[in-house]
C-alpha cells in the first residue's frame, strides 16, 4: 500500500548516509559518555510509537473524509497493531513499541520469531520487582539480561499479548494476525546473512498479511532482510515496508540497490547528537534528490560560449550490426542539457538518420581518424564509447581518440563500449590505463558503468559488484582514476577532489529508466554540462548530471506534468514506467534545465 503525500526527505539538503559499522560506533560513543543503552531503546520506541500513530492517522485520513474523523475520540474502532519481533535489539524496540501503543489504547498483538519457550521463562524477570510493571523498575534491574530481554519483560508485565510465529503459521488468517498496522522488528542493522527457515517464512507471511489486510507496513530502523551497509536483499527475502522509521542516522542501504524498493517513506528519528564523544562521523555517502540552480546566461553570448561536444560512437560493424541510435541519443541529450554545439563522429551509414532526428548536429565519419583528431582539438569535451563497437578496429579507434583527447587536454566521458575496451586494455596491462589514471588527476574524466560493465572493469562477477556497490565504485576510481557513476537503482556517483573523494547516492529516477539507450542519454547530459564553461563547477558536475537525468525520467512518468497530462511532444498520452523510452528523455531534460533555473 502507498502512503500518500511527500516523503520526509528534505529536498534541499543532501542527507548523510552511514554504514552499520558506523551506526554501532555512534551508539558505543553515546554509551561511553555514560548514557544508558536501555534508555536509548525506550526513547527510540516511544518516538516510533508516536510516529506510527501519525502515519496511521495520515493513511486513515487519506481514505476517509478528513472532516468526519476525529482521532482524539476513537469511538468506532480500536486500532490493531501486529508487531513482529526478532531476538536482537531490533526486536527489543518492537516489544517496547507494543508497550507504548498499548498505553495509547491500541489493541496489540506481538508475533515472536525464532524464540524458544525458555525465552519467556520468568527466571530473569524474578530479578525485576514484579510489583512494578513500569519500565523504570525493569531498566533499573541490576541483572545481566540484555536490553532486548528487558524490553520483552516490560511488554509482558504490561500484559501485551504475544504468540510464537512457529505456533501460528498454519493459521495466518487467525484473527490475532488481522491488523491495521504491521510493525517489522525482526532484524535491524545486525542482519548479516540470508534469512532462512522460520525467518524466511515469517518475512513472507508478514508481506502476505499486510497485502491481504491492506495493512500499513512499518519497518523499525530498516526493513528486515535489507543489509544496512549495502542495500542488498538476499534472494528477494525482505519486508516490503510502506514506511521506515530510521533510528539514529540514515542507513546507506535504504537508498541504493534493493533497499530503494523495500523502504517506502523514510522518516529519521535521530535520538543522539550528530557529534558524540567528540567524534564526528564522516558519512559514507550523501543522498541527493535535487540539482543546483543554474545561473542565467549572459545576453551577450553566442553558441561558442556554451561549448562544443564531440560524441564518438555509433559504429556499424562489418556492414551488419549497427548502433547508430546510441550516438544520436547521446548527442540530442547533450544539446538538451544546454551544449552550444554538437558534432557526432559516427559511421557514415547513420549520418542521414542522425540529421533527420537532430538537424542541429554536425557529422563526421567515425573512421576518418585525421578528421576526428582534428575535431577533438576543437571540441570542449569528448564523449566516447556509445555504440562504438567491441571489435579490434573499434579498440584501435578508441585508443587513438583517447590519446588525442588527453594530448589536447579535453574533458572525457567514457561509456558503454569505451568501458569494455578499458577493461580489456587493463587485462593486457596496456599503458593507456596508467596514462588515463595520471591524466585524470588534473583533468576531468567521467566513467559511467552499470554493474555488468563494472564487473568487467574490475575482473569480477556481477554479483560481487552488486553485493557491495560502494566498494566497487571506490575500486574503479582507484584502478582507473577519474569520476564515476555506478548506474542502477540509487545510482552511486564518486567525485574525486584534491585530497578526498565524495560519494553521492542519487535519490531520483525510476525503474522505467531501465531500458536501452538511457545510459547513452546520461553520457550526453554529462558531456553537455561539462561543455558549458560559463557554469560553476558544482553546476556542471557529474552528480548534477545524474540528478538531471533522474529528474527527467521522473517527470516523464509523473501523472501531473505538462507532458503527461495531455499530449507529449511525441503525441502520446500518459507515459508510464513501462514503455518509457530513451528518446522521450531530451524534452524532459530541457524541462528540468528550465526548472533548475527558475527554482
Ligand X SMILES: NC(=O)C1=CN([C@@H]2O[C@H](COP(=O)(O)OP(=O)(O)OC[C@H]3O[C@@H](n4cnc5c(N)ncnc54)[C@H](O)[C@@H]3O)[C@@H](O)[C@H]2O)[C@H](O)CC1
Q: Which does 160 bind (CB under 5 to 8 A by kind): ligand X, K ion, none?
A: none
Q: Which stretch binds ligand X (CB under 6 A): 2-10, 194-202, 297-305, 418-426?
A: 194-202
Q: Which stretch binds K ion (CB under 5 A): 90-98, 247-255, 450-458, 589-597?
A: 90-98
- In angstroms, rounded to a whole number, what is the distance separating the alpha carbons of residues 224 and 13? 27
Q: Are strands 483-486 and 492-496 parallel, antiparallel or unpaired?
A: antiparallel
Whether 4 contacts 231, CB under 8 Å: no
Q: Is 192 in the site for ligand X (CB under 6 A)?
A: yes
Give me the residues paired with residue 80 across strands: 107
Q: Which stretch binds ligand X (CB under 6 A): 74-82, 184-192, 364-372, 493-501?
A: 184-192
Q: Which is nearer to K ion, 202 or 329 (CB)?
A: 202
Q: Is 207 in the site for K ion (CB under 5 A)?
A: no
Residue numbers in the known binding site for K(+) are: 90, 184, 224
Q: Which is nearer to K ion, 256 or 544 (CB)?
A: 256
Q: Which does 184 bind (CB under 5 to 8 A by kind): K ion, ligand X, none?
A: K ion
Q: Is 100 in the site for ligand X (CB under 6 A)?
A: no
Q: Is 187 in the site for ligand X (CB under 6 A)?
A: yes
Cell numbers placing 402: 583517447
Residue numbers in the known binding site for (6S)-NADPHX are: 89-93, 188-194, 199, 221, 326, 387, 450, 520
The distance between the two most distant Cα atoms of the chain, rounded to a whole number of Å, is 91
- The CB-nearest residue to K ion is 224
Angle formed at CA 327 by CA 325 and CA 332, multiple of 5 degrees? 95
Q: Is 95 in the site for ligand X (CB under 6 A)?
A: no
- In angstroms, rounded to a whole number, what is the distance separating the alpha carbons of residues 323 and 55? 49
Q: Which is nearer to ligand X, 149 or 532 (CB)?
A: 149
Q: Which stretch binds ligand X (CB under 6 A): 122-130, 185-193, 373-381, 469-477?
A: 185-193
- In angstroms, rounded to a whole number, what is the distance separating the alpha carbons of residues 220 and 200? 18
Cβ at position 141, least distance to ligand X in Å: 15
Nearest of 333, 376, 368 to residue 351 by alpha carbon: 368
Q: Which is nearer to ligand X, 162 or 199 (CB)?
A: 199
Cβ at position 185, least distance to ligand X in Å: 7
Q: Which of 18, 106, 199, 262 binds ligand X (CB under 6 A)?
A: 199
Nearest of 406, 501, 385 to residue 448 by alpha carbon: 385
Q: Which does 89 bind (CB under 5 to 8 A by kind): ligand X, K ion, none?
A: ligand X
**Which DSSP string corresponds to 281-350?**
PPPSEEEE-SPPPPPPPPSS--GGGG-EEEEE---BGGGS-B-HHHHHHHHHHHHHTT-SEEEEEE-GGG
- In angstroms, rounded to a whole number, what is the distance separating the alpha carbons of residues 313 and 301? 30
Radius of gyration of the chain (CA): 28
Cell numbers placing 467: 553485493
Q: Is 89 in the site for ligand X (CB under 6 A)?
A: yes
Q: Which stretch binds K ion (CB under 5 A): 69-77, 86-94, 171-179, 557-565?
A: 86-94
Q: Which is nearer to K ion, 45 or 596 (CB)?
A: 45
Q: Which of 55, 97, 217, 220 binds K ion (CB under 5 A)?
A: 220
Q: Is 223 in the site for ligand X (CB under 6 A)?
A: no
- In angstroms, rounded to a whole number, what is the distance separating the alpha carbons of residues 304 and 78? 68
Cβ at position 97, least distance to K ion in Å: 11
Interface mask toward ligand X for 145-164; x: CB under 6 A: --x-----------------
- In angstroms, rounded to a whole number, what is the distance separating the alpha carbons of residues 263 and 593? 29
Q: Which of 219, 404, 546, 555 binds K ion (CB under 5 A)?
A: 219
Q: Is 415 in the site for ligand X (CB under 6 A)?
A: no
- In angstroms, rounded to a whole number, what is the distance separating the alpha carbons of residues 346 and 541? 26
Q: Which does 99 bind (CB under 5 to 8 A by kind): ligand X, K ion, none?
A: none
The single residue listed with the C-alpha cell 487519506 is 62
Q: Is 6 in the site for ligand X (CB under 6 A)?
A: no
DSSP 3-state of 206 = helix
User: What is the arrangement of strands in the sheet containing 483-486, beginning at the earlier edge strand?
Assistant: 15-17, 285-288, 501-506, 492-496, 483-486, 445-447, 412-414, 381-384, 308-312, 341-346, 362-365
Please enumerate in sequence order all residues whose Cβ is within 8 A of that of 504, keeping only pairs 6 or more positions apart, or say none. Answer: 14, 285, 286, 287, 288, 492, 493, 494, 495, 543, 546
* Strand segments (E) across 374-451: 381-384, 412-414, 445-447
384-406 in b/e burial notation, b at 16+ Cβ within 10 A?
bbbbbbeeeebbebbbebbebbb
- In angstroms, rounded to a whole number, what is the distance separating the alpha carbons of residues 86 and 304? 63
Whether 204 contacts 439, CB under 8 Å: no
Q: Which is nearer to K ion, 239 or 542 (CB)?
A: 239
Q: Is 195 in the site for ligand X (CB under 6 A)?
A: yes
Cell numbers placing 433: 590505463
Which residues 225-284 are close enough to bind ligand X by CB under 6 A? Answer: 247-248
Residues 233, 190, 271, 210, Cα dihedral to 10°: 50
Q: Which stretch binds ligand X (CB under 6 A): 187-195, 352-360, 433-441, 444-452?
A: 187-195
Q: Which does 219 bind (CB under 5 to 8 A by kind): K ion, ligand X, none?
A: K ion
Residue numbers in the known binding site are: 89-93, 184, 188-194, 199, 221, 224, 326, 387, 450, 487-491, 519-520
Nearest of 208, 220, 200 to residue 83 by alpha carbon: 220
Q: Is 88 in the site for ligand X (CB under 6 A)?
A: yes
Q: Which of 14, 80, 83, 93 binds ligand X (CB under 6 A)?
A: 93
- In angstroms, rounded to a whole number, what is the distance separating the alpha carbons of residues 433 and 419? 11
Q: Quick one: CA dihedral 548, 479, 445, 394, positive or negative?
A: negative
Q: Are strands 445-447 and 483-486 parallel, antiparallel or unpaired?
A: parallel
Cβ at position 118, least distance to ligand X in Å: 16
Interface mask toward ligand X for 296-325; x: CB under 6 A: ------------------------------
Q: Which stretch binds K ion (CB under 5 A): 176-184, 287-295, 306-314, 443-451?
A: 176-184
Q: Which stretch binds K ion (CB under 5 A): 154-162, 223-231, 370-378, 422-430?
A: 223-231
Residue numbers in the known binding site for AMP are: 487-491, 519
DSSP 3-state of 265 = strand
Q: Which is nearer to K ion, 185 or 339 (CB)?
A: 185
Cβ at position 88, least distance to ligand X in Å: 2
Residues making contact with ligand X (CB under 6 A): 27, 37, 40-41, 44, 86, 88-91, 93, 147, 187-195, 199, 220-221, 247-248
Residues making contact with K ion (CB under 5 A): 90, 184, 219-220, 224
Amino acid at each position: 500500500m502507498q502512503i500518500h503525500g511527500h516523503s520526509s526527505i528534505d529536498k534541499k539538503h543532501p542527507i548523510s548516509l552511514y554504514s552499520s559499522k558506523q551506526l554501532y560506533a555512534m551508539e558505543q560513543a553515546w554509551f561511553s559518555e555514560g548514557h544508558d543503552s536501555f534508555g536509548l531503546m525506550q526513547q527510540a520506541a516511544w518516538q516510533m510509537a508516536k510516529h506510527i500513530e501519525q502515519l496511521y492517522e495520515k493513511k486513515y485520513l487519506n481514505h476517509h473524509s478528513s472532516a468526519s474523523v476525529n482521532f482524539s475520540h476513537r469511538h468506532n474502532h480500536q486500532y490493531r497493531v501486529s508487531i513482529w519481533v526478532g531476538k536482537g535489539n531490533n526486536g527489543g524496540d518492537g516489544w517496547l513499541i507494543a508497550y507504548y501503543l498499548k498505553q495509547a489504547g491500541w489493541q496489540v498483538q506481538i508475533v515472536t520469531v525464532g524464540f524458544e519457550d525458555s525465552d519467556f521463562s520468568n527466571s530473569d524477570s524474578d530479578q525485576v520487582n514484579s510489583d512494578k510493571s513500569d519500565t523504570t523498575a525493569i531498566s533499573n534491574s541490576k541483572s545481566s539480561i540484555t536490553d532486548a530481554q528487558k524490553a520483552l519483560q516490560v511488554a509482558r508485565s504490561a500484559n501485551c499479548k504475544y504468540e510464537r510465529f512457529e505456533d501460528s503459521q498454519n493459521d495466518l488468517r487467525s484473527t490475532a494476525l488481522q491488523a491495521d498496522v504491521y510493525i517489522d522488528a525482526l532484524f535491524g542493522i545486525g542482519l548479516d546473512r540470508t534469512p532462512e527457515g522460520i525467518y524466511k517464512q515469517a518475512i513472507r507471511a508478514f508481506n502476505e498479511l499486510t497485502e491481504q489486510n491492506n495493512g500499513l507496513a512499518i519497518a523499525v530502523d530498516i526493513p528486515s532482510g535489507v543489509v544496512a551497509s549495502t542495500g542488498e536483499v538476499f534472494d528477494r527475502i525482505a519486508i516490503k515496508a510502506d514506511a521506515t522509521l530510521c533510528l539514529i542516522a540514515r542507513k546507506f542501504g535504504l537508498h541504493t540497490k534493493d533497499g530503494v524498493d523495500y523502504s517506502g517513506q523514510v522518516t529519521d528519528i535521530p535520538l543522539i547528537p550528530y557529534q558524540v564523544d567528540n567524534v564526528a562521523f564522516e558519512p559514507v555517502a550523501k543522498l541527493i534528490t535535487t540539482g543546483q540552480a543554474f545561473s542565467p546566461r549572459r545576453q551577450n553570448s553566442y553558441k561558442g560560449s556554451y561549448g562544443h561536444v564531440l560524441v564518438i560512437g555509433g559504429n556499424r560493424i562489418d556492414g551488419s550490426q549497427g548502433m547508430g541510435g546510441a550516438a544520436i541519443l547521446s548527442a540530442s541529450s547533450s544539446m538538451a542539457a544546454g551544449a552550444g554545439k554538437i558534432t557526432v563522429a559516427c559511421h557514415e551509414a547513420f549520418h542521414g538518420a542522425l540529421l533527420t532526428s537532430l538537424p542541429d548536429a554536425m557529422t563526421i565519419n567515425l573512421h576518418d581518424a585525421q578528421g576526428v583528431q582534428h575535431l577533438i582539438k576543437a571540441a570542449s569535451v569528448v564523449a566516447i564509447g556509445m555504440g562504438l563497437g567491441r571489435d579490434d578496429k573499434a579498440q584501435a579507434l578508441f585508443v587513438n581518440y583517447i590519446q588525442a583527447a588527453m594530448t589536447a587536454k579535453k574533458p572525457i566521458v567514457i561509456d558503454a563500449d569505451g568501458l569494455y575496451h578499458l577493461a580489456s586494455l587493463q587485462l593486457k596491462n596496456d599503458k593507456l590505463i596508467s596514462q588515463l589514471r595520471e591524466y585524470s588527476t588534473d583533468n576531468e574524466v567521467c566513467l559511467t558503468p552499470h554493474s555488468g560493465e563494472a564487473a568487467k572493469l574490475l575482473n569480477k562477477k556481477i554479483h560481487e559488484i552488486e553485493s557491495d556497490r560502494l566498494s566497487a565504485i571506490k575500486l574503479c576510481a582507484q584502478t582507473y582514476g577519474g569520476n564515476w557513476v555506478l548506474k542502477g537503482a540509487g545510482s552511486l556517483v564518486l567525485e574525486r577532489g584534491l585530497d578526498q573523494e565524495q560519494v553521492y547516492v542519487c535519490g531520483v529516477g525510476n525503474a522505467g529508466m531501465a531500458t536501452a539507450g538511457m545510459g547513452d542519454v546520461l553520457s550526453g547530459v554529462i558531456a553537455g554540462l561539462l561543455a558549458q564553461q560559463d557554469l560553476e563547477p558544482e553546476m556542471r558536475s557529474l552528480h548534477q548530471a545524474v540528478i538531471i537525468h533522474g529528474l527527467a525520467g521522473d517527470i516523464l512518468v509523473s501523472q501531473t506534468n505538462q507532458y503527461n497530462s495531455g499530449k507529449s511532444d511525441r503525441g502520446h498520452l500518459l507515459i508510464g514506467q513501462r514503455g518509457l523510452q530513451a528518446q522521450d528523455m531530451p524534452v524532459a531534460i530541457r524541462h528540468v534545465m528550465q526548472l533548475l533555473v527558475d527554482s
